Amino acid sequence: MSGAEDGALVLFSGGQDSATCLAWALARFGRVETVGFDYGQRHRIELACRAGLRDGMAALRPDWAGRLGADHVLDAGVLRGLSGSALVSAAEITAPEGQLPSTFVPGRNLLFGTLAAAVAYGRGLRHLVLGVCETDYSGYPDCRDDTMKALQVALNLGMDARFVLHTPLMFVDKAGTWAMAAALGGAALVELIRVESHSCYEGDRTVLREFGYGCGSCPACELRARGFAAYRRLAAA
Ligand code: ZN
């Protein structure tokens, strides 16, 4: 693909999912830019991982290096004062049965999708790539397929545009996300994402575990550890 019609903007947090989405986009689109949001995450470590992942992917493949364009970081700090979410405060991380986890930030992905579309509009990028997933994450309603489809319609009506929202991980579990990275960039991409991406809610990067850096016991680490172990079992079979 080539031309302005084939430019993509990846919502890139620095976590495993969005890192895999960046590789997915680099394999498909002629020009790929990234956008991240600073909203007072529990730790800014995830945002700090972004440069290492971008540089690492560019180093992995010359064709990807040629496609990788600008990085944008937007201040979405307004979210901090609007919710009591544990992701934007010191509140305890809990996941009560039958309720949304305390890490849910109301409206976050709707806001991020809208801000990303505004960036893409200005940059002439038609495709938006989001690492949302409804299979094995925390049941966040703004990660669901219907939400993303409705958002695409709302953005296109509201901006008189023809954006296409891509969610390559929507029905993929965490083991499948690692397998997707392996298919896109081989063992070198898996290792880059394992070491350079960040998922841990506690922001712990002191110990490199089998699944990457993290405290090993928060819900994000547990999910990532389970997914990586399942991927390893599948890869070895
Ligand atoms: Zn952790």
Tell me what pLDDT residue 1 has.
Answer: 44
In a domain, 15, yes or no: yes
pTM, to two decimals: 0.91
User: 164 CA to middle of ligand 1, Å?
Assistant: 33
**How many structural domains is the chain composed of?**
1
The residue type at 97: E
- Strand, helix or coil at 150? helix
User: 96 CA to middle of ligand 1, Å?
Assistant: 18
In a domain, 65, yes or no: yes
Tell me what pLDDT residue 4 has.
Answer: 46
Range of the domain at 60: 7-173
Token pair for 4? 């302005």
Tell me what pLDDT residue 159 has.
Answer: 97
Tell me what pLDDT residue 5 has.
Answer: 61
In a domain, 187, yes or no: no
Tell me what pLDDT residue 84 has.
Answer: 64
User: 60 CA to middle of ligand 1, Å?
Assistant: 28
* Segments of the chain with pLDDT less than 50: 1-4
Helix then strand count (H, E) for the chain reads: 8, 7
User: 202 CA to middle of ligand 1, Å?
Assistant: 5
Q: 80: which DSSP letter?
A: G
CATH number for the domain that contains residue 63: 3.40.50.620
In a domain, 114, yes or no: yes
Token pair for 228? 């990586």
Residue at token pair 């922001």: 203
In a domain, 196, yes or no: no
Cβ atoms 230, 237 nearer than 8 A: no
Tell me what pLDDT residue 85 has.
Answer: 66
In a domain, 207, yes or no: no
Residue at token pair 């971008």: 54
User: 205 CA to middle of ligand 1, Å?
Assistant: 9
Average pLDDT, the chain: 90
In a domain, 1, yes or no: no
In a domain, 191, yes or no: no
